Amino acid sequence: MLFNSGAFAVFLPVMLLAYWRLHGAARRWALLIGSLFFYSWWDWRFTSLLLLTVAVDYACGLAIAATENVRRRRWILTVSVVSNLGVLAGFKYFNFFRDSAAAVLSALGLAHDLPMLHVILPMGISFYTFQSMSYTIDVYRGMPAERSLRDFALFVTCFPQLVAGPIVRASDLLPQLKVDQRFERVDLPLGAYRLFRGLFKKMVVADVLSMYVDRVFADPSAHTGLSAWIALYAYAFQIYMDFSGYTDVAIGTGELLGLRFCENFDRPYLAATPSEFWRRWHVSLSTWLRDYLYVPLGGSWGSTGRTLRNLMLTMGLGGLWHGAAWTFVAWGLYHGTLLSVERVIFGGGVAAGGSRFRGVARIVGMVATFHLICLGWLLFRAPDWATVGTMLASLTDFSPAPVHGKRIALLLAACLAAHAWPEVRSALGWFRRVHATAQGILAGAAMWVLLLCSPAAKPFIYFQF
């Protein structure tokens, strides 16, 4: 089910009503059933895959907790990791590896008849497998295993963050799910504000920007110079508004259910260095990759060469997590390279790069980082290498040509101003201060804006991951 759909507009009030009318176990069952219904709306057949992941990791968690034998624990963890990655490999990466192998065989002049899987990618599979897998790893590391299958299933399937995150840790969400949330503790203005802000970011800003971006990426050679740069900037804000919009809706919806999810974005385009960008962009994935991949690989405890290898490996796999295409791998490696260069120049530590910059140096760093990130988005957005090449040629072609997308540039300026505004929370503060009826009126006005200014009910970009 899409957040930006009529179905969700019906589902959410019904879910909230049922949730707050019930108590105790009945409430948790209602949320679980609602979450499975939410997922099944897309395609009920894949709910079984989701439940399989739940069942395997629940059993593995209990089995790990039941034994002190290190080898046995490691073996059970391997079962969990392999099953999760196996599901991902089968549904998401099989055809990618098959195509890559076929291309290599063809290049070598070898005949091949490799099988191809005709399956569709289950929605949100990358998110829920990572979330579920992190649980068994945490249990392996000493966290108590969850005894209740219902509560564990709820942790994995909880609908606000099921499809596109934030990737929540079991230690954060499970305790919240086990207590009966009280309605009087719900921050209604915050929930409504984040919900509508997220929908506005997605349905109005991101989808309108996408109209121009789609046109340029469909025919890059026809949009040179400034027109191409506007498209690249537009995509940078499109993907930010799209994804952070989803997170806003998830956090807002969670708040209305009395659940608190972690923040996933912190004005990422104000980052002065690539490492600072990754502390502000898709934080739940960055920390996941750090805690479950980078650190186990050795992190930065070793020679510089080893650290850079770990960075490249982590970011390369992070790129592959986003999509089964070499352009995504290249995007990940590109960011790995940026982080490596930063590390070589500025050294390691949390204070590396941006946070030590002040004044003009920080502004220069922000502008430079933003443009480096934008060039990375080119790899992320382009459907193939030919488009990457043509777009790069268009970006460097400043021969006289009519400039397209002037109005989009105005919208981008507004986005940038909102992004750089010193304290966006002041808008929430103002929203809190007005009377509840006025809050409802503002939400109604926002609803009209959504209905009138949204081009179409497009899926969120991160749904494909």
Partner 1 sequence: MAQCSSPSIDNRRQAANMLLGFAAMLVVGDWVLSRTVWPHLYDSRNGCRWKWDLLTREPQPPEVLFLGCSFEWCGISPREVERVVVNRGGRPIRGFNAASSAASAVTTYLMARRIVEEGRKPAIAYVGVSPAVLDVAQRNWLRNGLRALADPRDLPLAFRAGADMFAETLVASFFHSYHRWDDARLVVGRAVLGAPIVPEAKLKYAEGGWAAWSGAAKASQIHSPGWKSSSARTAPPFDLAADNANVVALRRTVSLLREAGVEVRFVEMPQSSQAAPWDSPTENVTYRKLIDDMAAKLGVPIVRAPQGVVAPDDYFDPVHLNAEGALRYSRWLATDLLQAIAERDGSTTTALSRSRL
Positions in the binding site for partner 1 (CB under 8 A) = 1-2, 6, 10, 42-43, 95-96, 99, 120-123, 182-184, 186, 188, 192, 207-208, 210-211, 214, 217-218, 323-325, 382-384, 387, 407-408, 435-445, 447-448, 451-459, 463-464
CB nearer partner 1, residue 39 or residue 288: 39
Distance of CA 108 to the CA centre of its chain: 38
Spatial distance between the Cα atoms of 220 and 305, rounded to a whole number of angstroms: 38
Q: Which is nearer to partner 1, 278 or 462 (CB)?
A: 462
Closest distance to partner 1 from the beta carbon of 446 (Å): 9
The DSSP line for 37-63 is: HHHHTT-GGGHHHHHHHHHHHHHHHHH
d(CA 161, CA 159): 6
Rg of the chain in Å (alpha carbons): 23
Judged by beta carbon, residue 148 or residue 439, the one nearer partner 1 is 439
In the annotation, is 419 catalytic?
Answer: no
Widest pairwise Cα distance in the chain: 73
Distance from C-alpha of 78 to C-alpha of 206, rounded to nearest angstrom: 40
Q: How far apart are CA 328 and CA 464, in angstroms?
A: 13
Rounded distance, CA 241 to CA 204, Å?
Answer: 9
Residue pair 252/166 in contact (Cβ under 8 Å)? The answer is: no
Q: Report CA 140 to chain centroid distance, whole Å.
A: 26
SS3 assignment, position 239: helix
Hey, what amino acid is at 32? L
Q: Are 139 and 67 in contact (CB under 8 A)?
A: no
Tokens of 58: 């629940």
Within 10 A of 126 (CB to CB), how many other CB atoms are there?
23
Question: From the CB of 304, what's the least distance to partner 1, in Å?
Answer: 36
Q: What gap in Å lies between CA 139 and CA 132, rounded to an integer?
A: 11
Specify whether the CB–CB gap between 407 and 418 falls below 8 A.
no
Residue closer to partner 1 by CB (options 40, 337) is 40
CA distance 310 to 122: 30
| Choice among 322, 335, 404, 435 that is catalytic | 322
Residues contacting 48, CB < 8 A, separation 6+:
none
- Cis check: omega of the bond before 166, within 30 degrees of 0: yes
Asked if 35 and 154 count as a contact pair (C-beta separation under 8 A), the reply is yes
Whole-number minimum distance, CB 120 to partner 1, in Å? 4
Of 184 and 423, which has the nearer Cβ to partner 1?
184
Cα–Cα dist 302/300, whole Å: 6
Q: Which residues are catalytic?
A: 322
